[in-house]
Amino acid sequence: MEPMAEKLGVGDNMIPVLIVGAGPYGLSLANYMSELGLDFKIIGKPMELWRNHTFTDASLRSEMATSEIAHPHRTYSIQNFRAKNGLPIGISSERIGVKEYRQYVEWVLAQVPYDIQPEYLANLSKKKSYFQAELESGAVLEAKQVVIATGVAHHLNVPTEFSEASDVIHSYYTQEIEALQGKRVLVVGAGQSAAEAMEVCRKNDNQVHWYARKEPRFYSEPLDLPKWIFNLVVKSAGLFRRLPHRLVQYLFSIFSATTMTPDHKIKLADVDRFSSLPDLNNYDHVISATGYNYTLNHMSFLAEDLRNSLEMRAAMPRIDKNFMSSMRDLYFIGPSTEMFFGPPMKFMIGSQYVAPRLSKLLAR
């Protein structure tokens, strides 16, 4: 039998809201809930993507103002972080380096007024009127409502055409890529991660080639739009689901096409680039900078019968305008909801739309 001490949240201690994921979306929601005085628990490895899976010498793709961890009073703005640490506050449209962003993340994590349980959910199942969450440590939690904010980690896309390669590394594993020295490397992809991997590999004296089927598009913000249209797109995310299908397709084609920031234009000008797949036997490593493929079945931490009972749209659970799936009290937020709330959800800016709204709904 489960030791009682490990069964947190049972009975009277039932957790009202369990937030699964401590990235920008989970933390932003937690900040809003905390300000409203609501009871919740948040689990996940805090800012895991940003601490461990971004290239150390890269810069963020988004501007400073659209990269902050949301808070009702903008307590955790990057400019606040700079001011509190005696740094020049700069301008909000600046793009900052990953090193500084990591310092900012540590600053935020040291201040948040709630605990984050730094571990993964292993299995979530639905009981009659609540959810049971088994964590990797074996601890069991019981929660009335659950918000899934697990981000990118479960959805790495590696095309099968690279199965012949001796070693394939997805660009998510930045630390492995940073460790490659003097190797023969093929980087695959036409987006920012490919550009950053190319740069790291060149710096580390690898012999590196680039395979990209399409031309990269260069942009200055994740959504390359005049500021007022950009803000409108974010504020109207709730209307996205009502747009005609053809318009949605068009918006995806302009917003979601993998593109890269202009600083890579010069850096990539003289690299050996192929538009058809070269012989993989000529490489020690293939870096698959081929993005993310959001599919419910990759979320194996959700019990199979729970997954099977959800109404789907394409490969992900259908969610309503309140972020709720067809299963009452089970919510999804973050990049996997792009098809319902539009391209801002792929970026941190989307959390500034989600957190204020969902926190109020969960308070009811």
Ligand X SMILES: Cc1cc2nc3c(=O)[nH]c(=O)nc-3n(C[C@H](O)[C@H](O)[C@H](O)COP(=O)(O)OP(=O)(O)OC[C@H]3O[C@@H](n4cnc5c(N)ncnc54)[C@H](O)[C@@H]3O)c2cc1C
**Residues near ligand X (CB under 6 A):** 20-26, 43-45, 48-49, 54, 60-62, 67, 120-121, 149-153, 193, 222, 301, 334-335, 346-349
Shortest spacing between CB 281 and ligand X, in angstroms:
28
Is 74:80 a contact under the CB 8 Å cutoff?
yes
CB of 225 to ligand X, least distance (A): 14
Gap between the Cα atoms of 323 and 345, Å rounded: 12
Nearest-approach distance from CB 350 to ligand X, in angstroms: 8
Contact 311, 319 (CB under 8 A): no
Nearest to ligand X of 317, 335 (CB atom): 335
If the CB atoms of residues 275 and 297 are measured against ligand X, the closer one turns out to be: 297
Of 43 and 158, nearer to ligand X (C-beta) is: 43
Nearest distance from C-beta of residue 335 to ligand X, angstroms: 5
H-helix segments, the chain: 24-35, 48-52, 78-84, 98-111, 174-178, 192-203, 227-235, 245-255, 263-267, 304-308, 338-341, 351-363
Q: Nearer Cβ to ligand X, position 9 or 222?
A: 222
Give the pair of three-digit tokens for residue 128.
């009659």
Gap between the Cα atoms of 168 and 171, Å rounded: 10
Nearer to ligand X, 157 or 207 (CB): 157
DSSP string over 164-205: TSS-EEETT-HHHHHT--S-EEEEE-SSHHHHHHHHHHHHTT
CB 172 within 8 Å of CB 156 = yes
The nearest distance, CB 50 to ligand X, in angstroms, is 7
Query: CB 245 → ligand X: shortest distance, Å?
Result: 25
Please say which residue, 97 or 278, places its beta carbon nearer to ligand X.
Answer: 97
